Structure 1
């Protein structure tokens, strides 16, 4: 390793809850070598160069807990691992993936650290760490580093790999309500909830968006006909098949007219306010390029509006404006478009920004608009002349609070008529504050509407449309969860996990099980190898048939991948694992293991339960980290922790003369006797142990499974052929 270098020993993506946080992180094991003797204040010029390259890091509070805290740490002296953490997070933030969590901790050997950063995508997180290393080394050695180019490259990665902002708004709203989410593909297909209680979104489409409704919405002529049948005001129009037919239809409808594709989107190919044969015939060719058919409609004078309907209510509305430039006598129209319109940061080439770039392409509606004003893209308008460039697709101003209730009701009716649960309803009217009456019309109903105009309006209030969609899919009083049991120990939990799954199955729940013996669904084995690996175990939560799930895990899987679920209803720890065998993960001594294993209890829901072995002090001490209830168990009913827990009014379980007892306060339930032939045979044949039965009974108790079913489940366990 060269002098003053940072070496990556390993970079690990922890996808699920882990020893650092509840959300996904990158954990980099690094060796800073000689830099262990050179904190930042001993590196000549380093701090000044780093601050000049990334001045926005003044906002990093860091340990002092104040604005500029990280820069204070630089000035007083901090080490390369800590700097790597902050620079990586800053690069992600500059690239559009703002993540606030990071840690840098000594890993044991001199100069070796674990650097942890929050990230929502493995490739983005890994790249930000690698870029941060190169930037820091350049600042140390006073060599050039192109920070803007690095940020641009990382921004492209975020744009290509991360979910779009519309989807992200729904995911974040779900997270705020502790609704679990799973990204199902490289795009915007995301699952909200688990198993049989899940819902799915694809940006602003849901698993309730029917193919029939989407097909209707794409056929604008059919949509108008259906709306008209239901009394919704729509513009008169005709489908035409030639430029000549378009002009004939325009004359029959009455000038001026609008010409547009019957199945286009995002206002592409739409030409408005046409009154001459040449304009109508030119507009026909433009529209045909964007769709399979062309519609000629009556032109309605008024402003363009987009009303977002979710379920049975309108939740947001945006008003459009024309896009124009003002001549200066020096620049051409094309140059003015770049200088005055496309410079707007809310315009871009993809769906991550609310407005599209204006492109003056031959045969486009924009070029037709210019021609009607006697101009081309190369014309140089005189100083002060206003040139209209684009009439449609410029939704800029939030008007949600002023939409007339009758207009909102018609928008809901339009969405319902088409059959969409989420719809963007396009309304043209001079005044959205008044009923449509004879002054306005509904021109389109769109499936999968963009949310960006409502999340980031140029003027007015941003609307929580992601939250509205999350609430539409999963009502406020629900979470989309199924019963999840997580169990961890020191290699002693497989039989317990299988018995728990068996009890849930007998309760009538279609149950998934991921354990050391394999991956099971409804007692059927799907695979044998690597069933506890994150991706394999997560399959249970994606399965729409699964009504309950049991996950066995161990310290290695926790440290190397994280847990495959975000929270659990019941978390079990039977014995504290040892550090032996985990040296490659730099876990340290046995004394540090409780700091890691506590994760299993940290993820227990507030209305859930931790099941802990009272006879293992390190395990019993984990009770302090549980947000929910705690059940202690032990073989000896006189164990001090058990006695104290019972005296506090809490639940305990134990064996008394071969009898399994569940006790709370003065009430005891005798579950079963280990001396009964069926149970004794299981114990004798080593198919179950007394601890397995005790643990499973506690979990069943936490899940409101009655003692009769517990007793029957234990006795019939041997009859389950999958075991």
Structure 2
């Protein structure tokens, strides 16, 4: 081989639906050089090496649609671009990302392929692609490759760049409900929905979460005061100014007590069940290091619980678990913690793990001192040593929560003013009312972590993401506004402008992105060609926009993807077989069709495709629409519209110099062509079909007929 290499010559990220799939993908152009002459079955030992490094490739079904399908392709012979696709996806999967779409296609240049893979995050997928290229080349050349190191690097990127588990579960639940999700930052700020129907989340906080309520929740003394005034059981206690004051407060309250920072979190600096002056005074200093003030409270005997309140009800509950080291007569407590407890795969600092590691801190030293032990003590065989009394919500107990307890927790959230809250309470038995067992609510937390409910150490996960989405979008709302997408070879801009005009006359605030600029309610916002992903996306982020009209040409679809996941109306004006994109290796009519059909593929089941009945290729797209189809024809009834009407469909066409709206056997004249100024002033041959396409869109969106007529008469 004279050029035994895989060269990645270009990468583009398609951020929305494209000719490949509905989801964002990375499209890499790859030159395999002389490897074009060496499929996998001609390279000695290649398949065995690849599968030994990535045994989970056996799960890839590939074109055979069966377990082991891809490995079968390797054995029969397939090319490096196809292999690169599968290896990239598998590396992402092994690093904790979901599986996804993949495809490899030849271009019009020998040895150059397009490799398309699902891109959950651009940087993560690019890194996986380059590692996959190096791995495949190592397998071809029979060289060593450090697979664990590659996966670790991708894992680190996932941890730092991808959505956290709390945000991720909400986004996943939204997508299950077909609610669009748009990430607004490199952090966890996400928009759900479009335009004026959107809601925003940041982990487990929403735009409905009051900043005042969040501030109150951080002030534990104020929180307790407000809760107590509303009859919610809380432990007695007060703020203290010094170690001596802490001991005095403890004596007033009654031993034992809890010493904790009044504005801390994650149980840091919280010391429980303290009875001696030395313990209490020493704990004051340690608690102060974790916050800006210290509280002393009555110690409530029982188990710690975390109840998640969403809206006005408890949707999940978890019970805490203490950590114990069991002596073997040989190892110290330090060794037992390091070798037995902290090696539990459920424990760790990662946000996705349900249990935290046992930390060697002052709290641990205090706990051991109570048992007359130190970290270097060697407990006797089978001796149980308490090493962590709190901090792990391990047991899923939602099904055990007593209705009175749930009501108290929901009341606590409302008193503070939080729409989503983590309620910490202590009780011997969560299935009994708090009052009868002396239980109490000890904290109310804004932005609670959800991992304990998503991945409990013991018990079934709870659908907390779905509960939050239902809170934001009740009664099956989907967060969508009418989105009209306009594609085709000619006339797109005029159609988009006319549709925008017609919709605005109905009273909606309309955003328009087209080749003439970006507009809001007919006011120019950005000049120049705005028929692109960036301009369209800005419309969908705008909280004032009640309807969006977006022009898409084949270059936008090929190089950026659509800015929306689905649309209410998808218009295809026409399809010119000469409207090619050679730079994208799109040169054949069938390829152009596959690009343009993207606009119809994304029509919602409740939406409508508006298609040119005078264009045979466009009419063929009707079978691709998940929603209704309205055909339009400038030449009156033709075979396509006749058949469509015969089947009960809708169509509009010209007859006797009038625009006629038809459904099944019904006919209704809309307007005389002579009364449409645009038709009289325009010299373009396709102006009439543009008018029909725009009328079809307004009709599909149930615009009143008189409004459509007025719009046609006033459009300039």
Q: Tell me if both proteins adopt one fold, taking TM over 0.5 as the criterion.
A: yes
More deviation, 444-453/346-355: 346-355
CA contact (8 A) 1:491 1:554 kept: no
The one-character-per-residue Cα deviations of 1:514-551 (angstroms, maximum 9, x if unpaired) are: 10111111212111235222122101111111000000
What corresponds to 1:672 in structure 2?
A: 671
* Distance (whole Å) between structure 2 residues aligned to residue 699 and residue 452 of structure 1: 45
- Structure 1 position 345, deviation (Å): 2.6
In structure 1, what is the Cα distance between the partners aligned to 2:319 and 2:262? 23
Paired residue for 2:216?
A: 216
Aligned twin of 2:387? 389
Aligned counterpart, 1:319: 319
Q: Residues of 2 paired with 1:331 and 1:641: CA distance?
A: 84
SS across alignment from 1:347: coil
Determine the C-alpha separation between the residues in 1 that align with 2:405 and 2:285: 33
Gaps of 5+ in 1: 719-723
Cα distance in 2 for residues equivalent to 1:202 and 1:512? 26
Aligned CA-pair RMSD: 1.7
Contact 2:274 2:280 in 1 (8 A): yes
Structure 2 counterparts to residues 109-258 of structure 1, below 5 A: 109-258=109-258
1:357: how far off?
2.8
User: Contact (CA 8 Å) 1:316, 1:465: kept in 2 or not?
Assistant: yes
Task: Provide the C-alpha distance between the structure 1 equivalents of 2:552 and 2:32, rounded to a whole number of angstroms.
Answer: 33
Shift in Å, 1:503: 0.9
Q: Which piece of structure 1 moves more, 535-544 or 652-661? A: 652-661
CA distance in 2, matches of 1:80, 1:677: 58
> Which digits, 9 at most, give the CA deviation of each residue in 1:644-671, with x for residues without a partner?
2122221111122321211113322222
Question: Shift in Å at residue 683 of structure 1?
Answer: 3.2
- Partners of 1:414 and 1:698 lie apart in 2 by 53
SS in 1 for 2:64: coil
* Residues 453-474 of structure 1: CA deviation (Å, up to 9, x unaligned): 0100111111111111111111
Q: Is the 8 A contact 1:489 1:554 kept in 2?
A: yes
What TM-score results when the alignment is normalised by the length of structure 1?
0.96
1:97 corresponds to 2:107: no
Shift of 1:370: 2.4
- Structural mapping, 1:279-298, within 5 Å: 279-298=279-298
Q: Does 1:78 align with 2:78?
A: yes
CA distance in 2, matches of 1:447, 1:558: 42
| 1:436 Cα deviation from its structure 2 partner | 0.9
**TM-superposition CA deviations, 1:294-323 (whole Å, max 9, x none):** 110111110110011111211111011112
Q: Which moved more, 1:28-37 or 1:667-676?
A: 667-676
The answer on whether the counterparts of 1:216 and 1:222 sit within 8 Å (CA) in structure 2 is yes
Partner SS, residue 425 of structure 1: strand
Q: Distance in 2 between matches of 1:666 and 1:59?
A: 53
1:76-103 C-alpha deviation (Å, 9 max, x unpaired): 2222112111111111011111223211
Q: How does 1:303-702 map to 2 (within 5 A)?
A: 303-361=303-361, 364-439=362-437, 440-578=439-577, 580-676=579-675, 678-679=677-678, 681-683=680-682, 689-702=687-700
SS at match of 1:668: strand
State the alpha-carbon separation in 2 of the partners of residues 559 and 330 from structure 1.
67
| Equivalent pair of 1:486/1:553 in contact (CA under 8 Å) | yes
Q: Is the 8 A contact 1:282 1:368 kept in 2?
A: no
Partner of 2:263: 263
> Quick check: 367-376 or 152-161, which moved more?
367-376
Deviations 1:28-47 (A, max 9, x none): 11121222222222111211
Per-residue deviation at 1:371?
2.8
Offset from partner CA, 1:603-637 (integer Å, 9 cap, x none): 10111110000111001100000011111111111
Note closer, same or farther for the CA distance 1:510–1:2 as it changes in structure 2 (3 Å cut).
Answer: farther
For 1:402 and 1:701, how far apart are their aligned partners in 2? 53
Query: Could you tell me whether the CA contact under 8 Å between 2:257 and 2:272 is conserved in 1?
Result: yes
Q: Is the 8 A contact 1:579 1:587 kept in 2?
A: no
Q: Is the 8 A contact 2:395 2:459 kept in 1?
A: yes
1:590, CA displacement in angstroms?
A: 1.8
Distance 2:431 2:334 in 1: 36
Counterparts of 1:51 and 1:192, CA distance in 2: 40
CA contact (8 A) 1:530 1:536 kept: no
Q: Is the 8 A contact 2:491 2:687 kept in 1?
A: no
- Distance in 2 (alpha carbons) for counterparts of 1:158 and 1:417: 38
TM-score normalized by the length of structure 2 = 0.97
SS in 2 for 1:316: strand
Taking a change above 3 Å as real, the CA distance of residues 184 and 577 of structure 1, as seen in their structure-2 partners, is: farther
Contact 2:473 / 2:479 at 8 angstroms: preserved in 1?
Answer: yes
Give 1:421 deviation, angstroms. Answer: 0.8
* Contact kept? 2:19, 2:558, Cα under 8 Å: yes
Q: Secondary structure at the match of 2:715?
A: helix
User: In the TM superposition, what is the alpha-carbon distance from 1:287 to its structure 2 partner?
Assistant: 1.0
Q: Is the 8 A contact 1:637 1:643 kept in 2?
A: no
Q: CA deviation at 1:680?
A: 5.1
Q: Distance in 1 between matches of 2:145 and 2:529?
A: 43
SS at 2:244 equivalent: helix
Distance 2:687 2:590 in 1: 28
After the TM superposition, which of the residue ranges 18-27 and 57-66 deviates more from structure 2? 57-66
Q: Runs of 4 or more off by more than 6 Å in structure 1?
A: none
Distance (Å, rounded) in 1 between the aligned partners of 2:122 and 2:416: 40
SS in 2 for 1:636: coil
**C-alpha separation in 1, matches of 2:398 and 2:163:** 26
Mean Cα displacement is larger for which, 578-587 or 634-643? 578-587
Question: What stretches of structure 2 of length at least 5 have no aligned partner?
Answer: none
* Number of the residue aligned with 1:721: none
